[in-house]
Amino acid sequence: MRGVVLLLAVLAAGCTSAPPRYLVGDAYRMGGVWSYPREDFALVETGLAVRHPGPGFGARTANDEAWSAGRALGAHRTLQLPAVVTVTNLENGRALTLRVNDRGPVDPGRVIGLSDRAANLLGLPAGGAAQVRLAVDGERSRALAEGRRPPPVEIAAAPRAAVATESLAPPPGARGAAPVVAAAAAGPAAVAAAPPPRDEPLPETVVQGSPQPGRLVIETATLGSASAAAALAARIPGARTEAFGPRRDRQHRVRLGPFASVREADAALERTRAAGVSGARILVD
């Protein structure tokens, strides 16, 4: 009986942990690669998605929300948390809007980690990866950000001395006014707190579109200088430069591939990072 009581106490402690919060966070190292979180309400990117194990039973996500394999949730390395994104499986055309509330995936060659529920709805293979495109829902993500920012710090107004007035006798020929006595002392000015955070599940609506699988490539960097791009490409076996954009604002990206399989892309990514290019990533072209 004592063991049951102790177990219930542990579970209760887990349920009363810190409430969810809005988080951007500092740079951190995961899977041997540094990531730099930032707010981005218009992000659209492609890459490979995998299943994300989450922080474990009874644990909390990076922004102190509850993780559940049975909910459509996601993990991203740099997005603000929470964020709302639409993930499209380019291999089968299925799209799902879900909540991102954790950091990951651990594998830096993957663009997003999905809970089991989200992965099943999108048709990801067990233990495998799938080509995806993710797009941040700017309106809903901004609403979450505004509702979850820490409340403003209560600021006390500058103290004011009490002020009193005294009625004097009116001068000859003048009418007397009603006596006025006023006293005021300012207290602290309380700032309205932000509404309490809410972890609301999103509707699990899968939209079926047309499959649009692409080619796996590795992009190491995008530079404004053609010479700088050429110098970087020279450091990486098999890399090439590609110019794009208007002539007056021409950009140059350094890429490898395309690759016939995920295994080939992963091997090339590992070689690229071994050459000192830590920002390289796999994307779908």
CA distance from start to end of the chain: 60
Secondary structure E strands in 76-148: 83-89, 94-102, 112-114, 130-136
| Domains along the chain with CATH numbers | 17-150+201-213 (2.40.40.10), 215-285 (3.30.70.1070)
Amino acid 66: pLDDT: 87
Of 210, 207, 241, nearest in space to 224 by CA: 241
Q: What is the DSSP string of 212-277?
A: ----EEEEEEEES-HHHHHHHHHHSTT-EEEEES-GGG-EEEEEEEEESSHHHHHHHHHHHHHTT-
Tell me: the pLDDT tens digits for 244-253?
999 889 999 9
Sites in the chain below the pLDDT cut of 50: 3-16, 149-153, 155, 157-158, 163, 165, 174, 176-191, 196
Tell me: the pLDDT tens digits for 63-120?
999 899 999 999 999 999 999 999 999 999 999 999 999 999 999 999 999 999 999 9
How many helical (H) and strand (E) elements, i.e. helices and strands, does the chain have? 5, 13
Of 238, 242, 224, nearest in space to 277 by CA: 238
pTM given for the model? 0.77
Amino acid 148: pLDDT: 54
CB 76 within 8 A of CB 108: no
| Percentages of the chain per state (helix, strand, coil), in multiples of 5 | 20, 25, 50
